[in-house]
A and B are shown apart, each in its own frame.
Chain A
Amino acid sequence: MTESQDPFSYPPIDPVNFDLIIVGTGLSESIIAAASSAVGKTVLHLDPNPFYGSHSASLSLHDLTSYLISPPSLPPAATFSDSDHAVIDLVRQPLCSHAEIVPCASAEETEFFRENSRKFNIDLGGPRALFSADKTINLLMKSGAAQYLEFKGIDKSFVYEASGGGLVNVPDSRAAIFKDEKLLLTEKTRLMRFFNLVKQHENISEEDMESPFVSFLEKMKLPPKIKSILLYAIAMVDYDQDNNEVCKDLLKTKDGIDRLAQYSSSVGRFPNAPGALLYPIYGEGELPQAFCRRAAVKGCIYVLRMPVTSLLMDKVTALYKGVRLASGQDLYSHQLILDPSFTIPSPLSLPPSEFPSERLQILSQRDIKGMVARGICITRSSIKADVSNCSVVYPPRSLYPEQLTSIKALQIGSNLAVCPAGTFILYFSALCNDADEGKKLLKAAMNAILTLPVSGSSESIPIAQSDSEDIKPIVLWSAFYIQNLIMSKFDFISSTSTPDGNLNYDDLLDSTEKFFGQMYPNEEFFPKATSPEDTVDEDDNGLTLES
Chain B
Amino acid sequence: MATIGHNNLNAKLVLLGDMGAGKSSLVLRFVKGQFLEFQESTIGAAFFSQTLAVNDATVKFEIWDTAGQERYHSLAPMYYRGAAAAIIVYDITSSDSFTRAKKWVQELQKQGNPNMVMALAGNKADLEDKRKVTAEEARVYAEENGLFFMETSAKTAANVNDIFYEIAKRLPRAQPAQNPPGMVLVDRPAEGARAASCCS
Contact = CB atoms under 8 A, between A and B. Distances in A.
Interface stretch (B65-73, B125-133, B146-154, B159-167): B65-73
Contact of A536 (B49, B180, B184, B197): B49
Given A234-B198, A539-B51, A265 B192 contact: yes
A544 interface: yes
Contacts of B79: 293
A195 B4 CA distance: 44
Contacts of A289: 76-78
Interface residues of B, number: 56
A264 B72 contact: no
A264 B193 CA distance: 8
Nearest to A287: B78
B186 interface: yes
A162 to B, nearest CB: 24
A302 B74 contact: yes
A238 to B, nearest CB: 19
A5 to B, nearest CB: 11
Interface in B53-106: 60, 62, 67-69, 71-74, 76-79, 81, 100, 103, 106
B181 interface: yes
Interface of B is mostly: loop
A149 B185 contact: yes
Q: Kindly name the residue among B68, B71, B73, B180 whose own CB sees the greatest number of chain A CB atoms within 10 A.
A: B73
Given A289-B78, A298-B44, A133 B193 contact: yes
Contact of A171 (B43, B197, B199): B199
A543 interface: yes
A177 B199 contact: yes
A260 B67 contact: no
A204 to B, nearest CB: 10
Nearest to A542: B186
Interface string A492-536: 000000000000000000000000000000000000000001111
Contacts of A544: 183-184, 186
B36 to A, nearest CB: 14
A264 B186 contact: no
A18 to B, nearest CB: 14
Given A542-B184, A545-B184, A547-B181, A265 B69 contact: no
Nearest to A141: B187
A160 interface: no
Contact of A148 (B78, B100, B181, B200): B78
A520 to B, nearest CB: 20
Given A147-B184, A264-B196, A297-B45, A281 B179 contact: yes
Contacts of B114: none
A132 B187 CA distance: 11
Contacts of A260: 196-198
A274 to B, nearest CB: 12
B173 to A, nearest CB: 14
Contacts of A13: 72
A155 interface: no
A513 B190 CA distance: 21
Contacts of A158: none
B43 A269 contact: no
Nearest to A262: B193
B72 A147 contact: no
A148 B182 CA distance: 12
Contacts of B44: 297-299, 534
B123 interface: no
B27 to A, nearest CB: 9
Contacts of A234: 198
A282 interface: yes
Interface in A223-276: 230, 234, 257-258, 260-267, 269-273
A1 B3 contact: no
Nearest to B72: A303
Contacts of A538: 51
Given A151-B183, A263-B198, A297 B46 contact: yes
B174 interface: no
A228 B183 CA distance: 32
Nearest to A146: B185
Contacts of A198: 196-197
5 contacts: A133-B190, A198-B196, A286-B78, A298-B43, A304-B73
Q: What are the nearest 8 A-B pairs in CB distance? A: A150-B182, A174-B199, A534-B45, A296-B67, A261-B196, A302-B74, A133-B190, A8-B73
Interface of A: 1-2, 6-8, 10, 13, 51-52, 132-133, 137, 140-141, 146-152, 171-177, 191, 195, 198-199, 201, 230, 234, 257-258, 260-267, 269-273, 281-282, 286, 289-290, 292-293, 296-299, 301-306, 415-417, 533-539, 542-547
